[in-house]
């Protein structure tokens, strides 16, 4: 499951491609054509942070499957890893609000992510 989540992030950071979260930024916040270079850099960094986080969780899950009791592995796989992801998302959302001084309701943000045309993702950079 982790590899399925990791794949679009990794595919998007190949040479000539736009990082995944940068693509989401373009599709949700740049409807008027106004692109903020600081946000582009931030979203590129954020894509890499998600890659690192997912890789660490995958590595931890594999290690626990070999070296920890089943109960510990299950606790991490079914609860703690999701808690880590939630904390990361909340922290990132808070940083975004503080750094960019723009409030966007989490509900509105999720709606935007659902409503975008996902066929436009993982595209090559044309610039």
Would you state the pLDDT for residue 123? 61
As a whole number of angstroms, the longest Cα–Cα distance in the chain is 53
Q: Using an 8 Å Cβ cutoff, are 73 and 65 in contact?
A: yes
Per-residue pLDDT tens, the chain, 127 aa: give them: 778 889 989 989 998 889 999 988 888 877 677 888 999 999 999 999 999 999 999 999 999 999 999 999 999 999 999 999 999 999 998 888 888 877 677 787 778 778 877 777 766 565 4
pTM metric for this prediction: 0.85
Sign of CA dihedral 99, 103, 106, 110: negative
Provide the token pair at 52: 């690192």
Q: Using an 8 Å Cβ cutoff, are 105 and 85 in contact?
A: no
């Amino acid at each position: 499951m982790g590899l399925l989540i990791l794949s679009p992030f990794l595919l998007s950071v190949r040479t000539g491609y736009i990082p995944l979260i940068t693509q989401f930024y373009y599709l949700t916040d740049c409807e008027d054509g106004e692109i903020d270079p600081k946000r582009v850099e931030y979203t590129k960094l954020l894509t890499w942070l998600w890659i690192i986080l997912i890789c660490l969780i995958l590595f931890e899950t594999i290690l626990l499957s070999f070296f920890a009791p089943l109960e510990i592995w299950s606790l991490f796989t079914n609860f703690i890893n999701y808690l880590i992801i939630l904390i990361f998302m909340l922290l990132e959302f808070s940083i975004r609000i503080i750094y960019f001084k723009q409030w966007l309701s989490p509900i509105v943000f999720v709606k935007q992510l659902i409503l975008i045309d996902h066929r436009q993702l993982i595209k090559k950079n044309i610039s």
